[in-house]
Structure 1
Amino acid sequence: MTADRESILPTIWEVSDDLWARIEPILAAAWPRRDPRGRHHADWRRCLNGIIYQMRTGCQWNALPKVLGDDSTVHRWYQRWCRLGVMEKIWADLVQTCDDLGQVHWDWQSADGCMGKARHGGDHIGKNPTDRGKNGTKRSIVVDEQGGPLGVVIDGANRHDAKLLKATIEAIVIERPDPKEHEQHLCLDKAYDNPSGQSAASEAQYTPHIRRIGEEKTTVTAKHPDGKPRRWVVERTLSWLNRCRAILVRYAKNGKNYLGLVQLACSLIWYRRLFRLNGLG
Structure 2
Amino acid sequence: MPVLPSWLTEPLWGQFVALLPERPEYHPDHPLGCHRPRIRDRIVFDKMLQLLRFGCSYQAIADTTCSATTIRNRRDEWIRLGVFARLKQIALESYDRIVGLVLDQIAVDGSITKAPGGGEVAGRSPVDRGKQGLKRSGMTDGYGIPLGRVLAGANRHDSPLLAPTLDRLDNLGPLPDDITVHLDAGYDSDKTRTLLDERGLHGRIAHKGEKAPIQASQRWHVERTHAWQNAFHRLARCYERRATVIDAFFDLADTIITVRSLIRQAWTTHRWDERPHRRP
Q: What TM-score range do you get, normalising by the shorter chain?
A: 0.7 to 0.9
Q: Quote the Cα distance in structure 1 between the aligned partners of 2:38 and 2:214.
A: 59
Is the 1:142–1:149 contact (alpha carbons within 8 Å) kept by the matching residues of 2?
Answer: yes
| 2:71 corresponds to 1:74 | yes
| 2:239 corresponds to 1:251 | yes
CA-CA distance at 1:13 after TM superposition: 6.5
CA-CA distance at 1:198 after TM superposition: 2.5
* Amino acid across the alignment from 2:203: P
Aligned to 1:271: 259
| 2:86 corresponds to 1:98 | no
Aligned to 1:5: none
Q: Quote the Cα distance in structure 1 between the aligned partners of 2:27 and 2:149.
A: 40
* Amino acid across the alignment from 2:4: I
- Which of these residues, 201, 208, 225, is aligned with residue 206 of structure 1? 201
Aligned to 2:142: 145
Is the 2:206–2:212 contact (alpha carbons within 8 Å) kept by the matching residues of 1?
Answer: no
Is the 1:163–1:196 contact (alpha carbons within 8 Å) kept by the matching residues of 2?
Answer: no
Aligned to 1:22: 15
CA-CA distance at 1:177 after TM superposition: 2.8
Q: Quote the Cα distance in structure 2 between the aligned partners of 1:34 and 1:203.
A: 52
Aligned to 1:6: none
| 2:236 corresponds to 1:241 | no
Q: Quote the Cα distance in structure 2 between the aligned partners of 1:47 and 1:18.
A: 16
CA-CA distance at 1:179 after TM superposition: 4.0
Aligned to 1:261: 249
Aligned to 2:112: 115
Is the 1:91–1:173 contact (alpha carbons within 8 Å) kept by the matching residues of 2?
Answer: no
Aligned to 1:12: 4
CA-CA distance at 1:263 after TM superposition: 1.3
Aligned to 1:7: none
* Amino acid across the alignment from 2:252: L
Spell out, residue by residue over 1:48-80, the C-alpha distance to the aligned partner (whole angstroms, 9 max, x if none). Answer: 110110111111101115276222211211122
- SS of 1:91's equivalent? helix
Q: Superposition RMSD on alpha carbons, in Å?
A: 2.7
Q: Quote the Cα distance in structure 2 between the aligned partners of 1:219 and 1:272.
A: 24
Aligned to 1:47: 44
Is the 1:185–1:206 contact (alpha carbons within 8 Å) kept by the matching residues of 2?
Answer: yes
- SS of 2:4's equivalent? coil
Structure 1, unaligned stretches of length 5 or more? 1-9, 224-228
Is the 1:50–1:68 contact (alpha carbons within 8 Å) kept by the matching residues of 2?
Answer: no
Is the 1:88–1:173 contact (alpha carbons within 8 Å) kept by the matching residues of 2?
Answer: no
* Amino acid across the alignment from 1:143: T
CA-CA distance at 1:134 after TM superposition: 1.4
* Amino acid across the alignment from 1:12: L
Q: Quote the Cα distance in structure 2 between the aligned partners of 1:37 and 1:254.
A: 29
**Compared with structure 1, are the counterparts of its residues 36 and 250 closer, same or farther at alpha carbon in structure 2 (3 Å cutoff)?**
closer
CA-CA distance at 1:251 after TM superposition: 0.3
Spell out, residue by residue over 1:61-120, the C-alpha distance to the aligned partner (whole angstroms, 9 max, x if none). Answer: 011152762222112111222344321111110000111224211121101010111111
| 2:172 corresponds to 1:175 | yes
Q: Quote the Cα distance in structure 2 between the aligned partners of 1:99 and 1:242.
A: 24
- SS of 2:200's equivalent? coil
CA-CA distance at 1:159 after TM superposition: 1.0
Q: TM-score, normalised by structure 2?
A: 0.83
Aligned length: 260
Q: Quote the Cα distance in structure 2 between the aligned partners of 1:157 and 1:124.
A: 8
Aligned to 1:226: none
CA-CA distance at 1:144 after TM superposition: 0.8
Structure 2, unaligned stretches of length 5 or more? 29-34
**Compared with structure 1, are the counterparts of its residues 13 and 75 closer, same or farther at alpha carbon in structure 2 (3 Å cutoff)?**
farther
Aligned to 1:127: 124
Spell out, residue by residue over 1:166-216, the C-alpha distance to the aligned partner (whole angstroms, 9 max, x if none). Answer: 111223484243343xx2111000011124433343333221100111234
Is the 2:104–2:176 contact (alpha carbons within 8 Å) kept by the matching residues of 1?
Answer: no
Aligned to 2:32: none
